Amino acid sequence: MTTHYLVLSALLFAIGGVGVLLRRNAIVVFMCVELMLNACNLAFVTFARQHGNLDGQLIAFFVMVVAAAEVVIGLAIIVMIFRTRRSASVDNANLLKY
Amino acid sequence: MQSPAEIVSHAGGVTGVSWLMIALPLFGAAVLLLGGRRTNAWGHFFGVAMSLGAFAVAVVTFVELLGLQPEQRRRDIGLFEFIPGMVDLGMLIDPLSISFALLITGVGSLIHIYSVGYMSHDRDRRRFFAYLNLFVAAMLLLVLSDNYIGLFIGWEGVGLASYLLIGFWQHKPSAATAAQKAFIVNRVGDFGLLIGIFTIWTTFGSLAFADLTHEVAGQASEGTLTAIGLLLLLGACGKSAQLPLQSWLLDAMEGPTPVSALIHAATMVTAGVYLVVRSGAFFEAAPTAQLVVTIVGVATLLAGAIIGCAKDDIKKGLAGSTMSQIGYMMLGAGLGPAGYAFAIGHLITHGFFKANMFLGAGSVMHAMNDEVDMRRYGALFPVMKITAVTFIVGYLAIIGFPLLSGYYTKEGIIETAMHHNQILGWLAVLGAGLTGFYMSRMVFMTFFGKKRWADDAHPHESPAVMTWPLIILAIGSIGLGAFLVLGNRFMNFLSPAVGLPQPADMPEPHVFGVGTAALATLALVAAGAAFAWFRYGAAEVPAVAPRASFLTTFARRDLYGDALNEALLMRPGQWLTRIAVFFDNRGVDGLVNGLAAGIGGTSGRLRRVQTGFVRSYALSILFGAAAVVGALLYVGNI
Amino acid sequence: MGETITFWVLAVVSVAAALGLVFSRKAVYSALMLGVVMLSLAVLYAVQDAPFLAAVQIIVYTGAVMMLFLFVLMLVGVDSADSLVETIRGQRFWAIVAGLGFGLLLALAVGNVAFSPAAGMGRAVSGRDGNVPALAEEIFTRHVFAFEVTSALLITAALGAMVLAHRERVRPKATQRDLARTRFAGPQPSPLPGPGTYALHNAIDMPALLPDGTVAVTSINRVLARHEMEEGYAPTDPEKAALIKQVLEKDAARDAAPVEGDKPIQVKDALQDEGELRDEGEPQAGTTSRKENAPQEEDGK
Amino acid sequence: MPWLSILMAVPVLGAVGVALLPKGSDKLAKQLALAVSLVVLALTVAMAVQFSPDGNRFQFEEKYAWIPSFGVHYGVAVDGIALVLIALSAVLVPIVILASWHDAEGATRLDLKSEVVPPKRSAKTYFALLLVLEAMMIGVFAATDIFLFYVFFEAMLIPMYFMIGSYGGVQRSYAAVKFLLYSLFGGLLMLVAVIALYVVAEKDTFMFPELIGAIQDPTTQKWLFAGFFIAFAIKAPLWPFHTWLPDAAAQAPAGAAVLLVGVLDKVGTYGMLRFCLELFPEASKFFTPLVIVLSVVGIVYGAIVAIGQTDMKRLIAYTSISHFGFIAMGVFAMTQNAQSGATLYMVNHGFSTGALFLLAGFLIYRRGSARIADYGGVQSVAPLLAGAFLIAGLSGLSLPGLSSFVSEFMVLIGTYERYAVPAIIGATGVILAAVYILWMYKRTMNGPTAEAVKGFTDLDGREKWVVAPLIAVIIALGFFPKPVLDVINPAVDQTLTNAQVTDKQPVSTVAEKKGAGQ
């Protein structure tokens, strides 16, 4: 069963990655990142069960905490950009280039 | 073959201070050059005084030398250590060098006196005398030095002096070009001499004449000796305007006439002969080298004569004849000890009568306000008696009129050459005939025939200061030949310096000193003179040069010597320079700048990668991640 | 046996939801899709005997974080659907290649590892009566330092968000006296009149009528007008429709002017904005214009 | 008496003094700079007098630990070769200061259409830079600690960069940057080699005397040699690395160009002679054919390109490339004559090319353009200037009786002893030299006076004081090189013994007799 979980987690992670690359709306990109994080959590929990010790779950817990902090900051930035830029598209913020 | 005497170091007496001979003119040149405007008034007299001073020292040294026993007559005066461990500069007073010194200072002083008159109207007269003094000093250093480096310093010093004097009227572009050409062609000759000196140093470990005796020279291999001989010959050709480096002599006539007389007749051009005679040890041990010397001599002899026949410019004609006479001397020098005495004898007598004729030509030009074309002369005899008479004496001497100085020395060379090698002998006789023709042509065109003067010319005799040197030189060209050659007096005098020939090499003495070769020469000379009389004496000489046959244009264009140099050296040289400059700017520099531009270009393109879109960066991150995982996988399971 | 069934069901659901998240046009739909994924994962955690995590996942992660997303979505404009046309050349193709490549590689890696049967959480949890106390003991003994660090992290995150979202007040808060003075200095000192006794509607999207029966331009609500215009329901009365269209064009012209946001905000502009907002003020009759009802701190070009 | 440290300190203090002068006082700055340089000259002469040629090799030695952990010392000492080169710089600098009295003010004073561009910085800084440069020049020749040598080797570039960059001609920045990058590139290679030397030698010191013969294994020697040699080949421009010199010399003001070509480039050949030969004998022997070929190519190539130049200063720069070919050939011919000839050549070249550059500078100061075509018939207008130019030119084509001939003769005869063909090809350089010098002289000085040249004034008092000493030295060394050679020869013997080379003996018996007699 473990490989199934891991394959699922890999698949979700890949979809998340593709989502980050394809979508232009900052919030959707952000959600895809959350998706990738959840995929990792799944892998952690699977390994916790596989190895029979709590470390996996512990790590997953901490990942959630970090993810929360990240979301807070990310969204604040998105709001700020939206406020000045009137659009949340990721491609608009492209002044930092050659 | 009795080899030259041992060189003995000397101190005391006037010989001890004979370095004054060089020092005085050098001091004169320095004072006149540095003095500037202040020395204008008395500058030329000072120059003449310095030259006369050198002449005086030379005479006293000569007398002191005569006082010694013949074997003692090679005195070496050490001066100072020039390059530690290699060469110490010093002076060698021996019969050969003192005879040269006498010629240089003697004729030199006369020419100094003559120049006082000739250059009286020139505002740079002071500078002219400075350069003349510099020349005399350099020439004396050349002949009096006791080693090859001193000789080389004198050699190039003389080249510099001739550059300065040819280009004296430097505002004339033709004079500047002629001067530059003379110096560069001389430099080619000096290149040969330089390599020769290197070879001598590497083979013998010393450059002093005292060490390079005949026995020492014998030890080196034949090949090296021939190489040294040929290299020295290349140097000699450069300086004495022998083929193939003769093109500069005719252009050198751009300089004032006293310069032509002193440098391009009497002294500098004979430096080559001096070098060949002084390096006798090498040439005698390398017969092939001697043969080449004689061939070069004869070739130049004929070339000079042919050029002489076609030149209308009196100075260029005389220059052609100088070239041919030096060809004789080179031929004599190439015959070994047998020919040395006659070669140097002819050199001295030639110094007198050629200088006499050049100065004569100078006074003619002076009178005809610097007209040089003989076709504008004619019937000058009644107007300029002294110049004419002295010129004719010189003319008779040069064509070898019996009993005059030219006859003895030139006959000596021709007979030794005939004895040595028939072909060379007869070619020399042919040359003598040609000399008879072109010299007679020159005399008849200038002094006899109809008056072909330009309308504003009203010739008058030159002032005394110019005519007296002519007279002295004329007297010299009458008696000197006989004095030197009769009773082998000059050969015995020179023997300590250059050694005596085997009796076998000497041609047997004839009845009344007139051999078959001598008779043939006299006949040819007479024929030449007669033919010249018919063409130029009696007949009407056109004022403008008529269209000429192939042979005459060939001669007028100096046997296309210049055209040859131009085609072989000048054109490819310029072409090579342009390519080198192009290669340097585009090639090497292009490479460097190209490298810089390349780096700039790539960085410009790389800059484009940063598109500013977050998503393209994310894409590259993902690719990176994929690569890492792939690598881990690859590493993991190999 | 139950586990495999739940796994396969949830796996399919979560993958479908994930794809939905990525490819849905509207942001809100993708938010909901993400919620579905998270919930299915929570169940998977529970199945893999990690009950505490499942609870946290549902309560904290899905409950709080997802809601934050929705909240921001609301702020940013729920309807801001973005077209799926790709702007960067070759981005779509390469993204898919990279994503699939990456996924395949991981799957390959995971695939060829032979796992022994899962040891299960029995032993780890045995001595400590249950998952949560075991986890608590684990956290508060070995990882207490990490725990404290994460708390610090959370605090800084909160602080950061506040700092980022905060707009410095450059001028003193407008007191009531200022408001009164600006209102009276402005073109419309008196408040806009109410719909009036004879008014047929007091709905917000219905413009007010002036005593002579014509439509009061200032009472047209621009947001709604634009919304209707975009959705295509023009008001039946042609004259009102014309008026609304004319107001919208004026607005569009003003909007078309380069949005100040593009160029970095100069301090002078910000101040000028502040002033212009207050002075110009455009008092509305009874209806609230978009500008006025937005909270003081939210308005900003 | 720590002579060398004083010699380095005085110019630096002078430079600080000059720099601190109030803004407008350029005249005072010049006088002070001149005074300081004359003091340095006096000190050098005093030192040189006390130098005993047959004493031990390194004299006036000072050694203090600078970075003890790396074994880096402030090691300064002087042997024959270094003393002569320090004397050269000490003599050249006052002359250059005197010559560039007006150089630093740019073209404002010229009404003619001039290519000279007004400088970016004040004249005061120019003279301060000059003095700093002098200090570094003395430092680089005096350093016996290889690390210290490297430091000075790189530090020298900075003042020269500013002098070219701020006071040069039209393309000064291009030339300055090219010069700097070229030398820095070389310097970096050398740094790698210096560090590698320190590490491989395991002697825990950078002192040169102790490192002689420290590296035995031939391959490491070859690599280290390459590192050092490329840096020195770029510095003294050998053939492929030379393109920076014409640009830098043409764009630099005349005074800076003199020091650039006269002294800075000598560091390259001095480095070859001192470091390459003595530290890596086998590698030097291994690379000798390559270097000889490069230098011969440099001689002929430099001369030919010089003939084709239209700009006076570029022409003089190319001639010095040809001269550097001679020096490098002399150094690597590894015979007594060749190497002392090469060292003497470094000194003579400094004076003759220095004189040429300064006189070209005077011409450019009068006419404003460096193109040869803009001149003609200067001799009839300014005979003294033309005469000095002729003497400088003649020393350039190494006319016997002038200083360059002695050294060129020794280099050629030394090389001929070991390698005949390169010497012969090198000797053709003598003919080419005559062509490019005389042709330039004819085009600028002889012939009818060109329009623009009519207004030329002859050498004034100051310029006479610049030209006179140079010509005096050229003629004096030409006739009596013995004193200088006596100082150089022992140092060269030492170099040859360290480079494990014995002179080739001539073929025949005369040498024995002469040798025995000596």
Give the CA distances from residue C77 to residues A25, A87, B23, in Å, rounded to whole numbers and listed in that order: 12, 9, 109
Burial label, D223 (beta-carbon count in 10 A; 0-12, 13-18, 19+): middle
C-alpha gyration radius of chain B: 31
CA distance D286 to D278: 14
pLDDT at position B510: 58
Each residue's pLDDT tens digit, A34-84: 999 999 999 999 998 888 888 888 899 999 999 999 999 999 988 888 887
Q: Which chains touch D (3 or more CB pairs under 8 A)?
A: B
Helix (H, G, I), strand (E, B) or coil at B75: strand
Q: Which candidate in B603, B613, B616, B629 is best for mutational testing of the A interface (most A CBs within 10 A)?
A: B613
Q: Which candidate in B126, B139, B579, B581 is best for mutational testing of the D interface (most D CBs within 10 A)?
A: B581
* Residues in chain D within 8 Å Cβ distance of B597: none
Stretch B4-16: mean pLDDT: 75
**Considering CB atoms only, which of B611, B615, B619 is closest to A97?**
B611
Q: Which candidate in B602, B608, B615 is best for mutational testing of the A interface (most A CBs within 10 A)?
A: B615
pLDDT at position C271: 53
Exposure string over D47-80, b if 16+ CB within 10 A, otherwise e: bbeebeeeeebbbbeeeeebeeeebbbbbbbbbb
Percent of chain D scored above 70 by pLDDT?
Answer: 94
- Answer whether B184 sits within 8 Å of D387, measured CB to CB: no
Q: Does A17 touch chain B (CB under 8 A)?
A: yes
- Answer whether A68 sits within 8 Å of C135, measured CB to CB: no
Q: Return the minimum-mean-pLDDT range out of B299-303, B489-493, C70-74, D199-203.
A: B489-493
Locus of tokens 């919620």: C35
- Are B122 and B128 contacting, i.e. CB atoms less than 8 angstroms apart? yes
Locus of tokens 């990721």: A90
Stretch C176-202: mean pLDDT: 78
* Residues in chain D within 8 Å Cβ distance of B231: none
Domain boundaries defined on chain D: 3-517
Q: Does D53 touch chain B (CB under 8 A)?
A: no
C-alpha gyration radius of chain C: 28
Helix (H, G, I), strand (E, B) or coil at B87: strand
pLDDT at position B59: 92
* Tokens read off for D265: 């480039």
Give the CA distances from residue C298 to residues A83, C67, C160, in Å, rounded to whole numbers and listed in that order: 8, 20, 18
Each residue's pLDDT tens digit, D13-50: 999 999 998 887 888 888 999 999 999 999 999 999 99
φ/ψ of D153, rounded to 5, equals: -55, -40
Q: Does position C263 have pLDDT exceeding 60, yes or no? A: no
Residue of A nearest to B626 (CA): A14
- Answer whether C105 sits within 8 Å of B626, measured CB to CB: yes
Q: Does position B182 have pLDDT exceeding 60, yes or no? A: yes
Model pTM score: 0.79
- Are C218 and C225 contacting, i.e. CB atoms less than 8 angstroms apart? no
**Considering CB atoms only, which of C94, C95, C105 is closest to B630?**
C105
CB atoms closer than 10 angstroms to residue D38: 15
pLDDT at position B243: 84
CB atoms closer than 10 angstroms to residue C171: 11
CA distance D190 to D140: 14
* Residues in chain B within 8 Å Cβ distance of C102: 622, 625-626, 629
- Answer whether A5 sits within 8 Å of C100, measured CB to CB: no
How far from chain centre, in Å, is Cα D53? 23
Locus of tokens 């006859």: B407
Beta strands in B39-150 (DSSP E): 75-83, 87-93
Q: Does A20 touch chain B (CB under 8 A)?
A: yes
* Tokens read off for B366: 């002076």
Give the CA distances from residue B536 to residues B441, B549, B556, in Å, rounded to whole numbers and listed in that order: 6, 17, 17
Partners of D72 in the β-ladder: D67
Each residue's pLDDT tens digit, D144-175: 999 999 999 999 999 999 998 888 878 888 89
Stretch C102-126: mean pLDDT: 79
Supply the DSSP symbol for C42.
H
Q: Does A42 touch chain C (CB under 8 A)?
A: yes
Q: Does B634 touch chain A (CB under 8 A)?
A: no
Q: Does position D515 have pLDDT exceeding 60, yes or no? A: no
The domains of chain C, with CATH numbers, are: 1-78 (1.20.120.1200), 176-293 (no CATH)
Q: Does A83 touch chain C (CB under 8 A)?
A: yes
- C-alpha distance from B184 to closest chain D C-alpha (Å): 6
Each residue's pLDDT tens digit, D235-279: 988 988 888 999 899 888 888 999 999 999 999 999 999 899 888
Q: What is the mean pLDDT of chain B?
A: 86
Cα–Cα–Cα angle for B607, B609, B614, rounded to 5 degrees: 120
Each residue's pLDDT tens digit, D300-336: 999 999 998 888 999 999 999 999 999 999 999 988 8
CA distance D464 to D322: 29
Q: Which of D310, D302, D304, D305 is nearest to D326 (CA)?
A: D302
Q: Return the minimum-mean-pLDDT range out of B440-449, C37-46, C116-125.
A: C116-125
Partners of D67 in the β-ladder: D72
Locus of tokens 């130019």: D389
Q: Does position C211 have pLDDT exceeding 70, yes or no? A: yes
**Considering CB atoms only, which of A10, A66, A77 is closest to C164?**
A77
Q: Which of B110, B103, B165, B89 is nearest to B134 (CA)?
A: B165
Q: Does B604 touch chain A (CB under 8 A)?
A: no
Domain boundaries defined on chain B: 147-556, 579-637
pLDDT at position C255: 74
Locus of tokens 């590493």: B635
Stretch D425-432: mean pLDDT: 91
* Residues in chain B within 8 Å Cβ distance of C106: 629
Q: Does position C73 have pLDDT exceeding 50, yes or no? A: yes
Q: Does A15 touch chain C (CB under 8 A)?
A: yes
* Residues in chain B within 8 Å Cβ distance of D506: 201-205
How far from chain centre, in Å, is Cα B147? 20
Supply the DSSP symbol for D454.
G
Q: Does A86 touch chain B (CB under 8 A)?
A: no
Find the distance separating the first CA and the last CA of chain C, reported in whole Å.
59
Helix (H, G, I), strand (E, B) or coil at D143: strand
CA distance C9 to C39: 13
CA distance D127 to D19: 8
The domains of chain A, with CATH numbers, are: 2-89 (1.10.287.3510)
pLDDT at position C296: 46
Return residues 365-384 of D near B (CB < 8 Å).
377, 379-380
Q: Does position B414 have pLDDT exceeding 90, yes or no? A: no
Each residue's pLDDT tens digit, D432-475: 999 999 999 998 888 888 888 888 888 888 889 999 999 999 99
- Are B100 and B109 contacting, i.e. CB atoms less than 8 angstroms apart? no
Q: Does position B98 have pLDDT exceeding 70, yes or no? A: yes
- C-alpha distance from B627 to closest chain A C-alpha (Å): 14
